[in-house]
Amino acid sequence: MTLQLTKKHSFDMVFDSQKVFRLILEVMSNPTRIANIMEYADRLSGSNPLFLAIAMTLLDNEASVDTCGDHVLSGEIVSLALARIETVDTADFIFISDESGIKDVIENAKCGTLADPQKSATVVMQYQNDNRPGSAITLAGPGIDGQAVLLAPQVAIDAIKLRDAQNYEYPQGIDLLFISGNGDLFAIPRMVKVVE
């Protein structure tokens, strides 16, 4: 399996990962902005090229990951990015595409400590492009000029509200990255909150 994947993908570990990183940085710095990484994910084969593109950009053997039971994806990330597989409560990155598991992930992901808030998880959630109507929420925080309205699928909005409901004492918290099935990426870092 590993050998087959290594032969098939044409993702450039130097240049494509640099471009994907800049897009991730752009959406993290400007929450509610959407960037598309499909062009680069298309150069990867495997069970979930979008997750793999992010993994190839950010992960190495010093980072740990949980894929919420997706053993095929785990194997691919281990093979390609050399990341360590850990459980949801200890992983640095959590990749989840099963919407029903998001509650468990957000409630158990590590949120860092007051002294070391960087030792917290980044949750990367994939949602499907179906025709379910989205909703609008108003968000505020660093990276947003005043307030901004985000039109997103309900599953993403529920995840953001669920995270806010954890009432982490800042700077503790978890950072959320959302990616649609067609590669649209947006981020909601821990300081960005829903304005009721």
Partner 1 sequence: MNSNYNYAFLDEGSKREIRRSILKAVAIPGYQVPFGSRELPIGRGWGTGGIQLTLSLIGPSDTLKVIDQGSDESVNAVNIKKFVCLCTDVKTTIDTRDATLIQTRHRIPEIPLDNGQILVFQVPIPEPLRIVEAREEATKKMHAEKDYAPMWLQLYESLVKYKKVTIPSEYPCMVEGRYVMNPSPIPKFDNPKLHKAECLYLFGAGREKKIYAIPPHTEVLPLAFDDVPFERESFLGKKCRQCGSENTYLDEIFDAQTGEKFYQCSDTSYCLEARSHVSK
Cα separation, 25 vs 97, whole angstroms: 22
Is 15 one of the binding residues for partner 1 (CB under 8 A)? yes
**22-30, 34-42, 67-75, 155-163 -> range binding partner 1 (CB under 8 A):** 22-30
Neighbours of 97 (CB within 10 A): 21
Is 21 one of the binding residues for partner 1 (CB under 8 A)? yes
Is 76 one of the binding residues for partner 1 (CB under 8 A)? no
Of 144 and 179, which CB lies nearer to partner 1 in the complex structure?
144
Q: Do 24 and 185 meet the contact criterion of CB atoms below 8 Å apart?
A: yes
Is 169 one of the binding residues for partner 1 (CB under 8 A)? no
**21-29, 69-77, 99-107, 123-131 -> range binding partner 1 (CB under 8 A):** 21-29
- Based on its alpha-carbon atoms, the radius of gyration of the chain, rounded to whole angstroms, reads 16
Of 50 and 177, which CB lies nearer to partner 1 in the complex structure?
177
Among 38, 86, 108, 117, indicate the residue that binds partner 1 (CB under 8 A): 117
State the sign of the Cα–Cα–Cα–Cα dihedral 195, 176, 40, 130.
negative
Is 144 one of the binding residues for partner 1 (CB under 8 A)? yes
**35-43, 72-80, 144-152, 154-162 -> range binding partner 1 (CB under 8 A):** 144-152
Q: DSSP label at 145?
A: S
Among 157, 175, 179, 185, indicate the residue that binds partner 1 (CB under 8 A): 175
Among 162, 191, 194, 195, indicate the residue that binds partner 1 (CB under 8 A): 191
Of 134 and 171, which CB lies nearer to partner 1 in the complex structure?
171
Q: Is 111 left (phi over 0), alpha (psi -120 to 50) or beta?
A: alpha
CA-to-CA dists, residue 1 to 29, 40, 51, 52, 100, angstroms: 37, 21, 17, 15, 28
**Contacts by 104-110, CB closer than 8 A, 24 or more apart:** 105/68, 106/159, 106/162, 106/163, 106/166, 106/174, 107/162, 107/166, 109/174, 110/174
Residue ranges binding partner 1 (CB under 8 A): 13-15, 17-19, 21-22, 24-25, 28-30, 57-63, 92, 113-115, 117-118, 120, 122, 142-146, 170-171, 173, 175, 189-191
